[in-house]
A and B are shown apart, each in its own frame.
Chain A
Amino acid sequence: MEDYFSYTEKLFNPAEAAGKPEALKGVRVLDFSHVIFGPIAARLLADYGAEVIKLELPFSGDLWRPATYWGKYWKHSNPIWHNITKNKYFLSVNLKLDKSKELIYKMAETADVVVENFAPGTAEAWKIGYSQISKINTKIIFLSCSTYGQYGPMRYFPGWDLLAQGASGVLSLNGYPGTDKFFKLPDYLGDFVPGNFGALAIMMALYYRNKTGKGQYIDVAQTETLMRLLSNYTFHSVMGGEVGRTGNSDPTMVPASILQSKDKKFLALACTNQEQFSGLLNAMNRKDLLTDERFTSNLTRSKPENARVLTEIVSDWVKSKTGAEIINIAIDQSFPAAEVEDDYTICNSSWRRARGSVVLFQDTMYGELMIAGPSAQLSGTPSRTKWLARPLGYHNRLVLKKFLGMSDEDIMDLEKKKVIGTFDDRPGLKPPVYYNLAEDPIYNYGKEVNQ
């Protein structure tokens, strides 16, 4: 029988991924959303082959276009934005105008999915909500994203990832007990997690529609999706009291901490069961602890007084070895250990490149950019990056002509009436300075261009 890893290497060969089928091919999505939560839900659909048309206001665009880290732009674009909105069609249309609504209603006839994350009630007030769109297309799957949900006394409160972290209680958990040192989850995780749940709900609805022909309305409150990830509520209801903050240790198993090695490397080390614990003790030359009644099971080791003692013993041992030594021992004895990785080590790690967890993408407009791969690899219908974010209104002509069959005169009329538009001079909205849009066949779709 062929060696397992040569078999899987072929099954997942990244060089063949682009030629494989796409699970969501033929699914059309209207994406009215902005910032991160909604756009991520729509992007995940695009990654698996859906045709996502993102609508933005002319000359201002999505709020997040200019929001880069420490004001650092890359080729006049926001590098983070490329990851959030790749693979989409960028249509810039003023949603508030009646003329735009005609366009949207027309697109809604052939759309399968709508995603929006305006303040609850806004889409309805603008007559592009579920009650209006579902009259045009009864099979539509319509996702509304918000912080607190579409109903309930807090529905009109505005929110961001931060507020969802605050309202679910997760913000209060990251830090040290008995201090006021605690921190929000980084990188807007309170948007990305709900974005993934939004995509999950849409795909469940697509699966259901394939069986029954029925569309539906979906209400995802980002706070509730974060709540799904916390068993702290159950702890409280069963035990009274709270788990609270536990610093750098996982209170559910011992040892499980972030520690520092002899060569000052930070690394996480854990034992999830008795077998792994025995392997660790073997490596530490402390087999005597295996019969210590305080440490005979994870349940007893996790008691705070025992956890403290054991964590200290393990921490001292880690201090006596280099990071690399510990990782080798961990492979040998089969217990979990990993160095703390950061922005730099992740993007420069060769195995992640080989796996496709980070991808050096070659884009027709921006050239080379390293971009994150998917958080799950599929052998048959893999997620893929087809193009990066584009300037505001870049696909106006393509969408209107190809998808809506409009003529050049119609399009000029829309431009004149400011129903559609493009970018202004702000970074994040415009193309890179070196790029000649006049020669771009997609931007000028349907016109003669000199390439």
Chain B
Amino acid sequence: MSPKAQKEEIYTRHASSHPSELGKSLADMMNPEGKAEVLDDVLVLDVSSGNFAGIIAASLFAEFGAEVIKIEPPEGDPARLMTPFGANVKGVGIPFMFEARNKRYLTLDIKNNDSDRKIFRKLAQKAAVVIETFPAGDMDSWGIGYRQLGRENTGLVYIAITPYGQYTDKARQFARMPDSDITSQAGSGLPAEMGDVPDAGEPYNWPLRAGMWAGWYISGVSATLAGIVALIHRQNTGQGQLVDVAGMDAYASMVGIPVSIGYTWQKARPRIGVLDFILYPYGHWKCKDGYVAIAAPRDHDFRALLKVLGLWEIEDDWRYSSDRIPDILEQATHLHKLIEKETIKYTADELVRMALNYSKKSARSKWRGGGVPIVMKLMTPETAMESKQWQIRKTFQEVEDKDLGKYIISSNFVKMSASPPRVKWVSCEIGKDNDYVRNKYLQE
């Protein structure tokens, strides 16, 4: 077998050893084409400004079928210019292109122009959802906050996204402080848990930023989740409400773990590099041609891993999960190096195959205790795109905009048999749908 064919075989063996009819029928069942759209009765107005949490929430509503109107001033949302290394196509940044899903674009300057506010107010009477990210109280002072819009449209779900929220003294004191991804990450506790061990030297032992917009995406997903809760309540009772998302809650509230540990331990965890504070082994190791992720935290998984790597002679010292957890950093680092000495001898594909072969036998054996050491090749986003798994699941989609050309986005993030999300088009042009919106919603 050629190396290429052999490599392919690792990741498709299950499909070839079974008839893949079940897989095929599931793929057909989940095909979005021709299916209903959940939110086809929902109008969303996104007036977020320079804040991707709002844009992301609007995208998710749009992917589930809502009519989403992105409202921005004539010079465009500053979010258009936020992009890695300044990379852009005709002045539009990559993240804005990535989130430009199924939306309409209307120009209104509600920050500065009173007559534009009146138009917005008229639109809001027909809307189910408003998303805004202005300083807390600004929309209210312009006469178009939840207090006013909710009176005219009692079913309105009004989502406000700010760093410190819409109530408490802190929110009042920090109202002028704008939101950003990195401050949301830092203020909600993510970087404090990530970074190298204390003696690694600066800056490696500093709190580390997640290499993605973890703050903004968590706030955006949280806003959408709260939004659908409110839409269900509206569906049942006709009542709308105010949804308040604070960027400083993002990470801490989604995972909850910092609060539980802070309270029961009354200390903050130190940063422990590639180790995990509950499970071991649970991380990544160097191998001959890159890196592998290894998860074998249960005792029988760990024993299996030792067999696979030919390390059985050390079993006695590390038998129980309590021997392996990194409460003593030096001890855990020692074990980490023992494992690395072995993983470095093999390529990623070899290690994956070794673990799979063991697991297969283990599953059939009376004596091997069902240990499943999971070993997988570590991907970068770029190599992940090539995987057959995601091609078959249509996780990546090529889209085309008449100005920006063809590009690839990740979509179809959940598969649903009756009313799946989907991306129908991408577009970005400022004011592109001014006439459309005027004709459809502002006649009379």
Given A276-B178, A330-B177, A380-B239, verify A171-B293 contact (CB < 8 Å): yes
B89 interfacial by beta-carbon distance below 8 Å: yes
Q: CA separation between A134 and B360, bound complex, in Å? A: 32
Contacts of A340 in B (CB 8 A): 186-187, 191-192, 207
List A160-210 residues whose CB lies under 8 Å from chain B. 160, 162-163, 165-176, 179-189, 192-193, 196-201, 203-208, 210
> Are A44's CB and B225's CB within 8 A?
yes
Given A260-B206, A276-B178, verify A48-B284 contact (CB < 8 Å): no
- 30 inter-chain pairs at a CB distance below 8 angstroms, sorted by A residue, are A72-B264, A80-B256, A83-B260, A84-B256, A151-B22, A151-B24, A152-B27, A153-B388, A167-B384, A168-B384, A176-B204, A181-B204, A200-B228, A204-B39, A205-B419, A214-B418, A218-B416, A219-B30, A230-B212, A246-B211, A247-B203, A250-B180, A298-B82, A335-B178, A338-B163, A340-B186, A348-B262, A357-B252, A376-B223, A379-B243
> Are B389's CB and A149's CB within 8 A?
yes
1/0 contact trace for A48-69 toward B, CB 8 Å? Answer: 1000000000000001000111
> Are B26's CB and A183's CB within 8 A?
no
> Are B229's CB and A203's CB within 8 A?
yes
Q: CA separation between A299 and B337, bound complex, in Å? A: 43
A296, chain B: closest CB distance, angstroms: 11
With CB as the reference atom, state the residue of chain B lying closest to A25: B236
Q: CA separation between A370 and B217, bound complex, in Å? A: 26
1/0 contact trace for A320-345 toward B, CB 8 Å? Answer: 00000000001110111111111111
List B71-121 residues whose CB lies under 8 Å from chain A. 78-79, 81-89, 91, 93-95, 97-99
Residue in B169, B218, B222, B254 whose CB lies within 8 Å of A354: B169
Residue in B226, B378, B415 whose CB lies within 8 Å of A172: B378
Binds A, one of B268-276, B306-314, B428-436: B268-276
Contacts of B207 in A (CB 8 A): 248, 258, 266, 340
> Are A224's CB and B414's CB within 8 A?
yes
> Are A158's CB and B218's CB within 8 A?
no
> Are B206's CB and A230's CB within 8 A?
no
Number of interface residues of A (CB under 8 A): 175
B327 interfacial by beta-carbon distance below 8 Å: yes
Report, as a range, how many residues of chain B touch the other chain.
Answer: 35 or more
> Are A166's CB and B232's CB within 8 A?
no
> Are A173's CB and B178's CB within 8 A?
no
Contacts of B263 in A (CB 8 A): 79, 347, 369-370
SS class, residues of chain B in contact with chain A: mixed
> Are A220's CB and B228's CB within 8 A?
no
With CB as the reference atom, state the residue of chain B lying closest to A185: B210
A212 interfacial by beta-carbon distance below 8 Å: yes
> Are B380's CB and A172's CB within 8 A?
yes
- Give me the 3 closest cross-chain CB pairs, A-B, nearest first: A173-B211, A347-B262, A380-B241
A242 interfacial by beta-carbon distance below 8 Å: yes
Q: CA separation between A344 and B193, bound complex, in Å? A: 12
Q: CA separation between A270 and B213, bound complex, in Å? A: 13
> Are B194's CB and A168's CB within 8 A?
no
B91, chain A: closest CB distance, angstroms: 8
